[in-house]
Amino acid sequence: IGKLGGLKASLKVVGEVGWIGLALFILNSALVPAAPAVGWAMLMRAEGLNVSVWTALKASFMGFPINFIAPSMYLGAQPLKVIYVANAHDVPKRRVLATIIVSNVQEIGALLLVMIVAAAVALFRINFPPQQRWILIIGMGILVLCFGVGLYAFLGNFKPTVKFINLLAWFGVAKRKLARLRTHAHEVEIIIQRSFTKGWKTFLASQAVTLISAVSILIRPWIFFLFAKNQWLEVQYLCAIYVVTNFINMVPHTPGGLGILEGGFFGLFALFNLGEGQAEQMAAGFSIVTRVADLVLILVGVVLIFALNMRAFAKSVAKGEQKLRVGDAAGVNTPTETRKIVRVEEPKVKR
């Protein structure tokens, strides 16, 4: 940032944003973990899990630092969320896990929906070179195809997880462990499929709330330019920045996209000449403000992790050492639990 935009000039841009602009930018960034957490709480309530919105918010903000250092910005903290919520409210872990999976699908779906609209607007209103145009179209097509296949597998109740476990068992991989895991994976998939179909009203309401997260990412540059330059950034540039930054965040790379995301900002700002001849300085300033917001959310998550005694578990999750054990995923009932559990037949393995 210092070399490309000039440190003094970049900090001057940040100063022009001001404390009010910075505070609004951080609050807007906080919607990224907060909105999906509210939608997730709605899904858990619909599943009969008496989990408060406050608990879901705490779990989501604790997961932010872990997601930040994970290969993808949107996945990585699920084990921490499952254990914290299940222990805090004494609910079966497998049912919490099922709602997290549905919530993740909603979050990715919201991002992808806004990306499709944004890409269409950008392609229609910006004169991209043919090569860049086709890269954008093909990239969006691959994302939509992958998401559509996964969603169809759950909606059609094809039990992709169970079939994958059966495939591993057919190859003779850890048959005893897979035999125990298969039943629980089958039940989790039934809960997921039920959330998509029978609970469709709650699903749509939760999806609408989760969509706020994607929209908050879209309007970040608008907030920045409004306070830094008193300039209303045109919608096609908002859309182009949104599409590129989310491509970067979805693909495994450096933690938080460090270096890569900043390079994307510099390239886009220079390409569109944003900032009235100060494209590099504006890109650097936007990168700094974005990282300040990330740092604040990371600090909030770390404070919650320490305050709620989740430090050791969070550390193991961040290192990739902590996985949900078969017993955890199963959510074995304690004698005090009186909740009604759906019993399903164990799918047979072809031998």
pLDDT score of 351: 43
Higher per-residue pLDDT: 128 or 1: 128
User: What percentage of the chain reaches a pLDDT higher than 90?
Assistant: 25
SS (H, E, C) the chain: CHHHHHHHHHHHHHHHHHHHHHHHHHHHHHHHHHHHHHHHHHHHHHCCCCCCHHHHHHHHHHHHHHHHHCCCCCCCCHHHHHHHHHHHHCCCHHHHHHHHHHHHHHHHHHHHHHHHHHHHHHHHHCCCCHHHHHHHHHHHHHHHHHHHHHHHHHHCCCCHHHHHHHHHHHCCCCHHHHHHHHHHHHHHHHHHHHHHCCCHHHHHHHHHHHHHHHHHHHCHHHHHHHHHCCCCCCHHHHHHHHHHHHHHHHCCCCHHHCCHHHHHHHHHHHHHCCCCCCHHHHHHHHHHHHHHHHHHHHHHHHHHHHHCCCHHHHHHHHCCCCCCCHHHHHCCCCCCCCCCCCCCCCCCCCC
Q: Is the confidence at residue 75, as pLDDT, over 80?
A: no
pLDDT score of 101: 85
Cα 67–313–338 angle (5° rounding)?
A: 105
Higher per-residue pLDDT: 217 or 130: 217
pLDDT score of 255: 67
Q: Is the confidence at residue 349, as pLDDT, over 70?
A: no
Higher per-residue pLDDT: 278 or 348: 278
Q: Is the confidence at residue 110, as pLDDT, over 70?
A: yes
Higher per-residue pLDDT: 261 or 16: 16
pLDDT score of 128: 78
- Cβ neighbours of 34 (radius 10 Å): 22
pLDDT score of 6: 66
pLDDT band at 331, cuts 50/70/90? very low
How far apart are the C-alpha atoms of 127 and 135, rounded to whole Å? 14
Mean pLDDT computed over every residue of the chain: 78
pLDDT band at 327, cuts 50/70/90? very low
- Cβ neighbours of 313 (radius 10 Å): 16
User: What percentage of the chain reaches a pLDDT higher than 70?
Assistant: 71
Q: Is the confidence at residue 334, as pLDDT, over 50?
A: no
Region 237-260 average pLDDT: 77
Higher per-residue pLDDT: 89 or 8: 89
Long-range Cβ pairs for the range 86-92 (8 Å, 24+) = 86/331, 88/51, 88/55, 89/49, 89/50, 89/51, 89/52, 89/55, 90/334, 90/336, 90/337, 91/49, 91/50, 91/51, 91/331, 91/339, 92/331, 92/333, 92/337, 92/339, 92/341
How far apart are the C-alpha atoms of 286 and 14, rounded to whole Å? 8
Higher per-residue pLDDT: 253 or 330: 253
pLDDT score of 314: 63
Region 30-48 average pLDDT: 92
Q: How far does Cα 240 stand from its chain's mean position?
A: 20
pLDDT score of 222: 93
Higher per-residue pLDDT: 185 or 219: 219
Closest CA relative to residue 237, chosen from 196, 194, 283:
283
pLDDT band at 202, cuts 50/70/90? confident
Q: Is the confidence at residue 41, as pLDDT, over 80?
A: yes
pLDDT score of 214: 93
Q: Tens digit of pLDDT for each residue in 54-73?
A: 999 999 999 888 888 765 55
Q: Is the confidence at residue 320, as pLDDT, over 60?
A: no
How far apart are the C-alpha atoms of 279 and 98, rounded to whole Å? 45
